[in-house]
């Protein structure tokens, strides 16, 4: 039973357009959320995070939105660049301060 | 980049054999983690350590053991490998709990159990 779900295994976006990656969670007690990015043959790297006391956090081209009532968060990348092609993982913090990860979404940026 | 080295990078072994994966860090970070990544599951925590000789189980710890005798090294052992343990294994480190500090990951070990 996955507590963090990324329902889109892959997403293809034109270069320069907006990429929107979605993540749903089931546990209303989760109060801290993160996005990691992973290139092939490399480990994941931290991208951006958000606490439940906020509904938006922005870092350059990356913005994460949190909708607590819907238990949904999304990552927006604007504008999308070829180097953004990677697998994106959503993760949330459980009550033991450990991360629960989604299955990932593979983002493909088309030139 | 955080100084994390995983060895070996690739390993093929047979069912029933013991396997040890090594994670070495040069950052002197307190927390170290072992994750496995499988298609459709994302990353799942196997074991983690919050100091020398201080370890605890994650959500998928069955069939795995760990040891941390030095700050810089965290070993993951499969006592008797099974085909279900074929996976990509990632080591990660952090200075504090994931709620406070981000994790830095190694490049992974691809393990195949035949």
A and B: number of Cβ contacts within 8 A: 54
Per-residue model confidence (pLDDT) at position B40: 83
Mean pLDDT of chain B: 93
- Would you state the structure tokens that stand for residue B61, as one six-digit string? 């710890």
**pLDDT tens column, B75-104:** 999 999 999 999 999 999 998 876 666 899
Per-residue model confidence (pLDDT) at position A107: 98
Reading chain A (111 residues) residue by residue, the pLDDT tens digits are 679 999 999 999 999 999 999 999 998 888 899 999 999 999 999 999 999 899 999 999 999 999 999 999 999 999 999 999 999 999 998 877 788 999 999 999 999
B67 to chain A, closest Cα gap in Å: 19
Q: By C-alpha distance, which of B61, B100, B81 is closest to B13?
A: B81
Per-residue model confidence (pLDDT) at position A36: 96
Per-residue model confidence (pLDDT) at position B13: 96
Burial class of residue B82 in the structure, from the number of CB atoms within 10 Å of its CB (0-12 exposed, 13-18 middle, 19+ buried): exposed
Among chain B residues, CA nearest to A89: B42
Cβ pair B108:A43 closer than 8 A: yes
Cβ pair B98:A102 closer than 8 A: no
Per-residue model confidence (pLDDT) at position B64: 97
Residue A63, strand partner residues: A58, A76
- Would you state the structure tokens that stand for residue B44, as one six-digit string? 């799942």
Per-residue model confidence (pLDDT) at position B25: 97
B70 to chain A, closest Cα gap in Å: 22
Residues of chain A found within 8 Å of residue B43, distances taken between Cβ atoms? 44, 89, 91, 99, 101
**pLDDT tens column, B27-60:** 999 999 999 999 888 899 999 999 999 999 999 9
Partner residue opposite B40 with nearest CB, options A44, A49, A103? A103
- A36 and B92 in contact (C-beta within 8 Å)? no
């Amino acid at each position: 039973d996955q507590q963090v779900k990324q329902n889109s295994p892959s997403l293809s976006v034109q270069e320069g357009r907006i990429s929107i990656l979605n993540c749903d969670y089931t546990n209303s007690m989760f109060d801290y959320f993160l996005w990691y990015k992973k290139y092939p043959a490399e480990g994941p790297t931290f991208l951006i995070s958000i606490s439940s006391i906020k509904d938006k956090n922005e870092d350059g081209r990356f913005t994460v939105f949190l909708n607590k009532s819907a238990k949904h968060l999304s990552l927006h990348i604007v504008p999308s660049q070829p180097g953004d092609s990677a697998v994106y993982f959503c993760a949330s913090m459980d009550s033991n301060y450990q991360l629960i990860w989604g299955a990932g979404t593979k983002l493909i940026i088309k030139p | 980049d955080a100084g994390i080295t995983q060895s070996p990078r690739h390993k093929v072994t047979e069912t029933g054999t013991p396997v040890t994966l090594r994670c070495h860090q040069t950052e002197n970070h307190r927390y170290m983690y072992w994750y496995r990544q499988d298609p459709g599951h994302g990353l799942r925590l196997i074991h983690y350590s919050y100091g020398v000789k201080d370890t605890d189980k994650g959500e998928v710890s069955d069939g795995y053991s760990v040891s941390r005798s030095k700050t810089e090294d965290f070993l993951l052992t499969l006592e008797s490998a099974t085909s279900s343990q074929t996976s990509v294994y990632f080591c990660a480190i952090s200075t504090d709990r994931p709620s406070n500090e981000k994790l830095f990951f190694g490049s992974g070990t691809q393990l195949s159990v035949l």
